[in-house]
Amino acid sequence: GDSVTQMEGPVTLSEEAFLTINCTYTATGYPSLFWYVQYPGEGLQLLLKATKADDKGSNKGFEATYRKETTSFHLEKGSVQVSDSAVYFCALSRNAGNNRKLIWGLGTSLAVNP
């Protein structure tokens, strides 16, 4: 069945470091891919998404490129800030817009130190 695998955390970085959180997936067809973020004390929120191969989602300095050849959707940011400390979730949906069918990774905790 469909699945999402994220790198395990916690990830600890210094401010201004480069961030990569790996996400790979298994799915038939052409799923849509998402990154959600949960800041401390807040609900999950959509960070970025990509709906077809080679699309790049971007938001708040974060980017992720939908790579069908490597079945990956790695999250990157060139210079992290303390405020980026959060838990990041990768997810896929085989039916764009069908939130019931979202398949989630386990989440990766990021801590950014000043």
Q: Give the range of 14-22, 59-67, 74-82, 104-112 binding another protein by CB under 8 A.
A: 104-112
For 9-99, strand residue ranges (E) read 11-14, 19-21, 23-26, 32-38, 45-50, 56-59, 62-65, 75-77, 86-93
Residue 87 binds another protein, judged by CB under 8 A: no
Q: Give the range of 50-58, 59-67, 77-85, 97-105 binding another protein by CB under 8 A.
A: 97-105
Residue 1 binds another protein, judged by CB under 8 A: no
* Residue 102 C-beta: closest distance to another protein, Å: 7
Task: Report residue 45 CA to chain centroid gap.
Answer: 11
**Among the listed residues 48, 102, 110, 112, the single contact to another protein using CB under 8 A:** 102
Structure tokens at 70: 């490597």
Instruction: Give the integer Cα–Cα distance in Å for 65 and 49.
Output: 9
> What's the chain's Rg over C-alpha atoms?
13
Of residues 14-73, those binding another protein (CB under 8 A): 38, 41-46
Q: Which residues bind another protein (CB under 8 A)?
A: 4, 38, 41-46, 89, 91, 97-107
